[in-house]
Structure 1
Amino acid sequence: MTNDVQISVRTLVEYVYRSGSIDSRFRSQATLLDGTRIHQKIQKAYQGEDQKEVYLSVEIPFEGFKYIIDGRCDGLLFKDGEVTIDEIKSFSQPLELLEQEGYPVHWAQAKMYAYIYSRDHQLPAINVQLTYVHVDSEDKKYIKKTFTFQELEQFVFDCLKGYAPYAQLQFQNREKRNASCKVLSFPFPSYREGQRKLAGAVYKTISEGKNLFAKAPTGIGKTISTIFPSVKAMGEGHLNRIFYLTAKTITRTTAEDAFAKMRTSGLCLKTVTITAKDKMCFKEETICQKEHCEFADGYYDRINDAILDILANEQGMTRAVIETYSRKHKVCPFEFSIDLAYVVDAIICDYNYIFDPQVSLKRLIEEQKKSTALLVDESHNLVDRGREMFSASINKEMFLQLKKDFKEVNQEIYEAAHKLNSWFISLKKENANQNEFTIQKWDENLNLLLVQFLDAAEELLKTGPSNHLLEAYFKVNNFCKIVELLDEHYMIYGEKQKTDLIVKLFCMDPSKLLKQMGKGFRSKVFFSATLSPLPYYQDILGGQGEDYIISIPSPFTKEQADILIKPVSTRFRDRERTKEPLVKMLQSFIKKRPGNYLIFFPSHQYLRSVFEEFKLADPETNTLFQAPGMSEDEREAFLEAFSPIQKETLLGFAVLGGIFSEGVDLIGDRLNGVVVVGVGLPQVCFERNLIKDHFDKKGKQGYDYAYVFPGMNKVLQAGGRLIRSEEDHGTIILADDRFLQTKYQNLLPQEWRDYTII
């Protein structure tokens, strides 16, 4: 049995030789740039025949596998008839702290290149040199050794021996996976109406290497209808990896359940769920340093065994499973899940691991992306999440505080913070009569001041932690990175908040950057029950003309839901006046049709106002109230109150677009109706108006892009809580006179358009 294992020199030697602890101590953002700069400087000093960045590759049969190993060596030096492989490493610690002999992983990398070159050129011996360069002083330390070809060959085979158990296990797992994917049948007795159509569209999209925008109704089983065809495409060799991306924990569980269901039908496929670091950390305080955490201490000495163990014994690596193996092998559970993401078949995680430039899984190389599909669940949420990922802000108070903190402590930071605080004061004076204002041109002087601040902060942070300063450093650093992205999709604006002044780089249109971050992947499937209107979402999520689009009608009949429209004004100016008619409508309705109801409002303030009015008018009826910032236990208690065997009416007052209006399943008599108060328009504000003006200038419907489409999305999501299966029946009340206008009528699902006015 032979099989090709394509692997880079660096990946191979790091797997076998990396050691030590996780250390999230402060690292200068310039470290990577310093490394590149130092490499280039050393290489420029090479003599006549010397070569830099030399591509080397070799094929080695070993224990039934053919290893194709390649990479670029930093330098190939020729002197006095001898050849030297040069491996350059930048070093931020003082050079006297460097281990006398250099680091084993660095030697391994250089020796691997030495082996390939001496084998290609039939050299009996070759020199290997490690060149360590201090990043600040540029002092150099050279460590040079000579190796015979036999010594190098022995080293390479030892290296492959260390890697072989992992290669063997991965090969066996992949063989099992592909065979099981091929024969896998749909894990339910039959397809629901619309499911086969969606699954077919997803398979076609992946097999042709295209992208798909799919509007598929709630209750159809979108998760299984996207994952199943992706798994089948894997069996046919179109894919090697699937990312299931989502914004909410609850939908991550649904994806885990879908994979588990397919495993009961014979699927052998490894999945990992990535949970946020703060949630996974075993310690009270998340400090990733060996002195503070035994799971960080020696992490790289134990991680290979942990990965081999979990891969040999588990299929679905959920949070609970990862935690069990993390404790067994004493490794950090979060870093463990990230390392697993590079070796499993499917990853269930938040959008930001692909789309956020600050967080994304950067070790995913282009070659791997070509055989990877992104399944983007509830993709309507990616619009505002995208804006968030690509925007950044800094504020005056932060620098004023640093100026006070460092006055007698550090002159450089005091000066830098003082200058930035003064810059904000000048901006405030220039715009004395406005609370919010746009800044038409990027100020290069601000750029200079921010860079000075970063330099001063870096120097101090290298010597030890300072929480305020570290926080400010990362905030400014992120801001400076976003500055590099500024173009016509951005607006720079200032906003006064009491004594503070905030300057924000606001991404009004995330389409270009979402497209850029998703570049290189074989296929992207954007799907949601409320991806409506489709052309708007295709435009704003970075779609292109050649993308596929599919809109699947609801499998549920219009008879399952009574749609009632109450033409009342819920506009901000009329809310006080129409509060009483709303309460009376609710009272009258629950008298005729007792049951469990969710009532959604466009804001907490409006919710509280109507809730209080209702309690005065009807203190007897059982009510629940969504308070801001509810804990997970409080959320669960809220939902558990919706019992299918309720003897009395229960009203749950909640917020449109909030935690109870998406991804919540209250099947059967747990929910008898939904009341949506208002058309969900976001509050009129400076940012939304910037979005409106931006799209107006581009000849698009600015008001709809900024207000109507996002608002109606919330309405559709809230209404979608009601009918979740073929057996569900109930009532949806749309309380707003605008639901009778053509613009809003056109955005309602077909099955909602047969309504009664009350």
Structure 2
Amino acid sequence: MLPEIKLSVRNLVEYVFSSGSIDNKFRTATTMTEGTKAHKAIQSTYEETDQKEVFLKTEIRHEDMNFVIEGRCDGLLFRGDEIIIDEIKSTSRELASIEEDSIPVHWAQAKVYAYIYANDTNRDCMSVQLTYIHIVTDEQKKFQKRFTFHELEQFVLELVKGFYPYAQLMYKHKIRRDKSISDLPFPFETFRQGQRKFAGAIYKTITEESNLFANAPTGIGKTISSIYPTIKALGEGKLERMFYLTAKTITRQNAEEAFSELKNKGLVFSAVTITAKDKVCFKENTLCQKDYCEFANGYYDRINDAVLDIFSHETFISRATIEDYARKHTLCPFEFSLDLAFVADAIICDYNYIFDPKVSLKRFFDEHKRNSVLLIDEAHNLVDRAREMYSAELTKKPFLTLKRDYKGSQLSVSSNKVNKYFIEIKKKCTEDGQLVLKELQEDLVELIDEFVKCAEIELLQPAKLDDQQLLLDTYYAATAFVRTSKIYDERFVTYVEADNQEVLLKMFCLDPSYQLQQIRKRFRATIYFSATLLPFQYFMDMLGDSKEDYTLAIPSPFAREQTEVFIQPISTRYRAREHSKKQILDMLARLVNSRQGNYLIFFPSYQYMKSVYEEFRTAFPDIKTIIQNNSMDELEREQFLEEFKEDNITTLIGFAVLGGIFSEGVDLKGNRLNGVVVVGVGLPQLCLERNIIKDYFHSTGKNGYDYAYTFPGMNKVLQAGGRLIRSETDTGVIVLVDDRFLTPKYQNLLPVEWKDFEIVQN
């Protein structure tokens, strides 16, 4: 039996006819919705005997493969003895610029449909029509050609021939992959305590198409324990691909290392890492236009050869590998990573590529979702990230500026209406310049919708201003605002903050659980895991659990004796911080004098940290100290961590911010880290947003203060403390500096391994 390759008509023609450049000049954001309307508008003019959205399917044998090709043609028109395939294309381009043969891939798609229909109905010839419609003006332009069945057949056979090398490569990879997975042992001689249980729970969850919330402590090998069973399930045909989602670069590197371990054990598997565009761009400015960037110019002419090249020679495709091949083939490394991800077995990427509505990658993977699994590492980070993904804000100033810059245009009129709205809403604010509204401000949404349409018309014209960046930025903010308005419900509020200079209005997502749940439903299974997914109920509420979901809490594999825990019961509340500094200095001096080593001390704010740091340096100039800056790049972060050496002969103290870049995802094993000090209980700063969250959850019957402040704060504390013990041989000391740690609430939130503590006498 021949191997069967299933593919859509669109994927077939877009692969074979791949050509042209990346040219990210302005394109209207309403193309998808307006395009659907345009399609329906044309289809509504069809005659009664015509058919629309006609499903067509055929099988074609080529060499040692059987290709199953299917798709839906927009229209099947009957005009006497003539039958016409109508392919509708909506566009924001001026129709005058589109000639009959301007876009060969459009003809190719229609001709494949014509071939399938002619083959099914034994027709000698078919007519093919391209109907272009402008999404703003509704103007139409049509082209028509007539082909014999023989011409169509030869054309389609050539298409399949052009696709064959790629299909053959992917098929051979799948055979080798599945064989290697079948033979794949666990990469280590033994399972750590809790590791087998965690891996087994993930395999069971995938098999049953369910979801899992797992608190998996540091030290059990969460990364390999999640990836290994998922790969095993993939090899058994239970899924087609996996997404490993992270919030931080360091966690992505951990995933890459896990795949590398498995490769060393014989795994054949394609895994691609997607890195943010601005981080991988080869040019000084991230400007994706063919006239500026040689890596964008002619990109689609070269992409097929590059994909064949990299998949013929590589399996684990990291950022460095992508950059090497991108330079070799003169390709944009970011777009190259997306094209590779489309056919990879595993994708390692940030949360936003799946959950953020502003990122279009989700649509890119639509056809794969149901057969995909999400592994969400450090899932505690997803709560606040999701809140921002589903929120949207606007400010007054840009609309006032646009009103003036585009005077005499509809854009100016529309901008003025929005500006006036901001003026009126400011009048409703309290004396401290704040206003909270539960209901969706539909009148504002209508004004913003009108602004978007006017901005699109302006942006599609030759530029009137040398710099259109303000208009572009405001346009994108406005489209995000309209998009958010469509999901606005009782889990949102709208708030306003105003001062003499500016007015800000934000649709704020208080509870992202429903939105996360809706996206999660499209995938076969979702695994949320973290070393600090505690309290369980809080995170399950916030991430959108259901009754059928599994939970798993694995105890720490480390002995209590490995960690000495101390609590220094002093007040670190804002008003007491000046007074607390001397007590913290004395405690640090006693700590480092009693045990030489490397220490990290975390503070709740930069200001507090710098103040203690400066006084410590003055009091103890002989002790080496380093401090976190508030805008460190990756190189500076690495240099900071490199100071924590196994063989340091003097004491080192690193001053860092709680909840910052060094308080999670940092792996300092052995004597690289001997102690962690956490100052404060990590409460988020008092602000309007947190108070709104508090009031909302209080209204739902929960402890609003805990949901807004206590739990997010304690999570930072747990993450910071988790930097200390990373292996069975590590030992060290944790000092928790705050009197609140001795209260019943915080005692209940301490992990079991921290509850055997000593109190430091002040």
The TM-score, its normalising length taken from structure 1, stands at: 0.97
Superposition map of 1:291-302 within 5 A? 291-302=291-302
Over the matched positions of the two proteins, sequence identity in percent amounts to 55
Classify the secondary structure of the residue corresponding to 2:161: helix
Indicate how the Cα distance of structure 1 residues 322 and 698 shifts in structure 2: closer, same or farther if over 3 A, else same: same
RMSD: 1.5
Classify the secondary structure of the residue corresponding to 2:749: coil
1:575 is aligned to: 577
Indicate how the Cα distance of structure 1 residues 364 and 423 shifts in structure 2: closer, same or farther if over 3 A, else same: closer
The one-letter amino acid paired with 1:175 is I
Matched, 1:12 2:49: no
2:415 is aligned to: 417
After the TM superposition, which of the residue ranges 320-329 and 450-459 deviates more from structure 2?
450-459
* Residue 750 of structure 1, CA deviation: 0.8
Classify the secondary structure of the residue corresponding to 2:639: helix
* Residue 366 of structure 1, CA deviation: 5.0
Indicate how the Cα distance of structure 1 residues 452 and 162 shifts in structure 2: closer, same or farther if over 3 A, else same: same
Superposition map of 1:425-436 within 5 A? 425-431=423-429, 433-436=431-434
After the TM superposition, which of the residue ranges 512-521 and 547-556 deviates more from structure 2?
512-521
The one-letter amino acid paired with 2:613 is F
1:693 to 688, 692, 695: 695
Partners in 2 of 1:579 and 1:140 — Cα distance? Answer: 73
1:177 is aligned to: 177
> Does the aligned pair in 2 maintain the 1:102–1:130 contact within 8 Å?
no
* Residue 416 of structure 1, CA deviation: 2.6
Partners in 2 of 1:71 and 1:63 — Cα distance? Answer: 23
Matched, 1:504 2:502: no
Partners in 1 of 2:716 and 2:88 — Cα distance? Answer: 55
* Residue 498 of structure 1, CA deviation: 4.9
The one-letter amino acid paired with 1:656 is L
Superposition map of 1:181-580 within 5 A? 181-364=181-364, 367-407=367-407, 410-431=408-429, 433-462=431-460, 463-464=462-463, 466-580=468-582
Partners in 1 of 2:158 and 2:397 — Cα distance? Answer: 58
Superposition map of 1:589-668 within 5 A? 589-668=591-670
* Residue 30 of structure 1, CA deviation: 2.4
1:157 is aligned to: 157
Partners in 1 of 2:28 and 2:178 — Cα distance? Answer: 44
Partners in 2 of 1:593 and 1:651 — Cα distance? Answer: 12
* Residue 132 of structure 1, CA deviation: 2.3
- The superposition leaves residues 130-152 of structure 1 with CA deviations (integer Å, 9 ceiling, x where unpaired) of 22233344333332222222221
Partners in 1 of 2:282 and 2:721 — Cα distance? Answer: 39
Partners in 2 of 1:79 and 1:405 — Cα distance? Answer: 52
After the TM superposition, which of the residue ranges 415-424 and 336-345 deviates more from structure 2?
415-424
1:34 is aligned to: 34
The one-letter amino acid paired with 1:499 is Q
After the TM superposition, which of the residue ranges 503-512 and 4-13 deviates more from structure 2?
4-13
> Does the aligned pair in 1 maintain the 2:438–2:492 contact within 8 Å?
no
Indicate how the Cα distance of structure 1 residues 151 and 598 shifts in structure 2: closer, same or farther if over 3 A, else same: same
The one-letter amino acid paired with 1:661 is S
Partners in 2 of 1:139 and 1:370 — Cα distance? Answer: 38
> Does the aligned pair in 2 maintain the 1:91–1:133 contact within 8 Å?
yes
* Residue 404 of structure 1, CA deviation: 4.0
Matched, 1:129 2:129: yes
Classify the secondary structure of the residue corresponding to 1:78: strand
> Does the aligned pair in 1 maintain the 2:342–2:365 contact within 8 Å?
no
1:21 is aligned to: 21
- The superposition leaves residues 387-440 of structure 1 with CA deviations (integer Å, 9 ceiling, x where unpaired) of 010111111122233334344xx5333333333222212222222513222024
* Residue 379 of structure 1, CA deviation: 0.4
Classify the secondary structure of the residue corresponding to 2:362: coil
* Residue 307 of structure 1, CA deviation: 0.7
Classify the secondary structure of the residue corresponding to 1:263: helix
2:674 to 658, 672, 675: 672
> Does the aligned pair in 2 maintain the 1:101–1:143 contact within 8 Å?
no
The one-letter amino acid paired with 2:603 is F
Q: Flag structure 2 segments of 5+ consecutive residues without an equivalent.
A: none
> Does the aligned pair in 2 maintain the 1:271–1:345 contact within 8 Å?
yes
> Does the aligned pair in 2 maintain the 1:90–1:133 contact within 8 Å?
yes
Partners in 1 of 2:424 and 2:366 — Cα distance? Answer: 46
Partners in 1 of 2:473 and 2:302 — Cα distance? Answer: 31
> Does the aligned pair in 1 maintain the 2:426–2:433 contact within 8 Å?
no
- The superposition leaves residues 31-69 of structure 1 with CA deviations (integer Å, 9 ceiling, x where unpaired) of 223322222122111112111111111122222222221
The one-letter amino acid paired with 1:272 is V
> Does the aligned pair in 2 maintain the 1:354–1:518 contact within 8 Å?
no
Partners in 2 of 1:366 and 1:624 — Cα distance? Answer: 47
Classify the secondary structure of the residue corresponding to 1:502: strand
Partners in 1 of 2:425 and 2:505 — Cα distance? Answer: 10
The one-letter amino acid paired with 2:272 is V
1:724 is aligned to: 726
The one-letter amino acid paired with 1:430 is K
* Residue 364 of structure 1, CA deviation: 4.6
> Does the aligned pair in 1 maintain the 2:211–2:527 contact within 8 Å?
yes
> Does the aligned pair in 2 maintain the 1:722–1:730 contact within 8 Å?
yes
Q: Flag structure 1 segments of 5+ consecutive residues without an equivalent.
A: none
Partners in 1 of 2:13 and 2:632 — Cα distance? Answer: 48
